[in-house]
């Protein structure tokens, strides 16, 4: 039996109240009933699409939002929400079309300009994306998403000065943001500016849940009355990254190295496994903090860790490989080694090719 106008009004009122209270699960079926009874109601379609967006049901949100955008051609929010749904679904060309329509309705809206930049960037139209971010920042020079997006584009184009300026502006808005400080630190380090980059790089330790942290006081470079632990911060201690960091960075300090089983047979100094008791230790530091804590120079790091003399490892043919723990092991053993670096290598390598100060027998090729 068809719903009466009064029943539909009551459903719509109840659904709107639920949306306002954040009860999207409760609002969605009510709005679906209204749309079924009034399939050409742009407002009902828009609200239904919004509820499904909030519930993460993007595929189901697409159809009512598309129809709402057609029935409400002068409503900016309807065009923006439709564009946002399309972007999540990976339909960036269609998303850009909807955003262009929204921009014609509200030409000076920085959020629309930013989202146009995101769509253009996803389509590989990077110069146009940069101009869109410029447009957004011309209206609101502190718009955080556009500052970060433009910084990424500038960095990719090698304009590190411009990227750094955008990150500095973002940090004016959020000076305590650990991820922003980390990003600025990494940018400075990739330029070889260890003096300014290393302190910011320590902000990574303020981001919870992403790194292994032993239950010990964090060492800050002060004299330690007792045992000091240095450890790879990767959650998986037997990952390639953890082994690589151990071979590259376990140097220059009198400490016990925490390592996985694979490296335990190679390192000749004191070691401990993960999961073993740390009751005898007074402090700990992650390996990647040692350049900062010990004031290392990028051009003259301390000598690499000593390795055990293993008969099975006697062959010493030249090695060419990627930036993996196996090639680090070869270089650490004194074997003539060439590491092929990616376009954006780890900041520890610096920005030059040829002989490397990290290992006597190592050459770098990009």
361 within some domain:
yes
333 within some domain:
yes
Domain match, 136 and 168 both: yes
72: phi then psi, degrees, rounded to nearest 5: -120, 60
Domain match, 284 and 248 both: yes
306 within some domain:
no
Structure tokens at 44: 């009902």
What is the bridge-based pairing of β-strands 319-322 and 337-340? parallel
289 within some domain:
yes
Domain match, 157 and 105 both: yes
Domain match, 190 and 335 both: no
Which pLDDT value is given to residue 312?
A: 54
pLDDT digits (tens, 9 = 90+) for 66-85: 999 999 999 999 999 999 99
Residue 178 is part of which domain span? 5-204
Neighbour-count burial for 246-279, b at 16+ CB within 10 Å, e otherwise:
bbbbbbbbebbbbbbeebeebbeeebbebeeebe
Flag whether the pTM goes above 0.85. Answer: no
DSSP bridge partners of 231: 286
Q: Is pLDDT at 314 greater than 70 in this prediction? A: no
Domain match, 108 and 175 both: yes
Domain match, 289 and 315 both: no
Other C-beta atoms closer than 10 Å to the C-beta of 226 total 8
What's the structural domain count of the chain? 3
302 within some domain:
no
305 within some domain:
no
Domain boundary among 204, 239, 270: 204
Domain match, 85 and 175 both: yes
Q: Is pLDDT at 102 greater than 80 in this prediction? A: yes
Domain match, 171 and 270 both: no
Domain boundary among 173, 204, 235: 204
Other C-beta atoms closer than 10 Å to the C-beta of 78 total 28
CATH number, domain at 131? Answer: 1.25.40.10
Q: Is pLDDT at 311 greater than 80 in this prediction? A: no
210 within some domain:
no
Helix (H, G, I), strand (E, B), or coil: what is residue 291? helix
Q: How confident is the model at residue 1 (pLDDT cuts 50, 70, 90)?
A: low
Cβ atoms of 363 and 354 within 8 Å: the answer is yes
Domain boundary among 239, 267, 293: 293
> Taking residues 260-282, what's their average pLDDT?
94
Domain match, 69 and 149 both: yes
Domain match, 60 and 177 both: yes
> Taking residues 254-279, what's their average pLDDT?
95
183 within some domain:
yes
Domain match, 187 and 324 both: no
Domain match, 194 and 231 both: no
Q: Is pLDDT at 3 greater than 80 in this prediction? A: no
């Amino acid at each position: 039996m068809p719903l009466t106008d009064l029943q539909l009004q009551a459903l719509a009122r109840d659904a709107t109240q639920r949306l306002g209270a954040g009860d999207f699960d409760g609002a969605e079926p009510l709005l679906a009933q209204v749309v079924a009874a009034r399939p050409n109601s742009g407002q009902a379609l828009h609200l239904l699409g919004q509820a499904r967006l909030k519930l993460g049901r993007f595929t189901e949100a697409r159809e009512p939002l598309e129809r709402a955008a057609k029935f409400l051609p002068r409503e900016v929010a309807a065009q923006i929400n439709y564009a946002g749904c399309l972007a999540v679904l990976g339909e960036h060309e269609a998303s850009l079309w909807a955003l262009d329509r929204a921009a014609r309705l509200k030409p000076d809206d920085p959020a629309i300009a930013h989202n146009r930049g995101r769509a253009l960037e996803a389509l590989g139209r990077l110069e146009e994306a940069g101009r869109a971010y410029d447009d957004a920042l011309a209206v609101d020079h502190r718009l955080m998403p556009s500052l970060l997006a433009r910084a990424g584009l500038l960095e990719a184009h090698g304009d590190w000065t411009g990227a750094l300026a955008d990150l500095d502006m973002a940090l004016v808005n959020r000076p305590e943001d650990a991820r922003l400080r980390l990003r600025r630190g990494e940018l400075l380090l990739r330029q070889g500016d260890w003096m300014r980059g290393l302190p910011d790089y320590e902000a990574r330790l303020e981001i919870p849940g992403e790194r292994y942290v032993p239950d010990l006081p964090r060492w800050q470079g002060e004299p330690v009355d007792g045992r000091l632990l240095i450890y790879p911060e990767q959650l998986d201690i037997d990952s390639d990254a953890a082994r690589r960091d151990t071979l590259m960075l376990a140097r220059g300090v009198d400490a016990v190295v925490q390592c996985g089983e694979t490296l335990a047979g190679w390192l000749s100094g004191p070691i401990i496994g993960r999961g073993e008791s740390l009751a005898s230790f007074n402090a700990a530091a992650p390996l990647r903090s040692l350049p900062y804590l010990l004031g290392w120079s990028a051009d003259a790091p301390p000598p690499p860790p000593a390795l055990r003399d293993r008969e099975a490892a006697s062959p010493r043919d030249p090695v060419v490989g990627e930036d993996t723990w196996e090639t680090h092991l070869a270089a650490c053993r004194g074997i003539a080694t060439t590491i092929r670096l990616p376009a954006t290598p780890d900041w520890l390598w610096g920005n030059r090719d040829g002989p490397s100060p990290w290992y006597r027998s190592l050459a770098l090729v990009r």
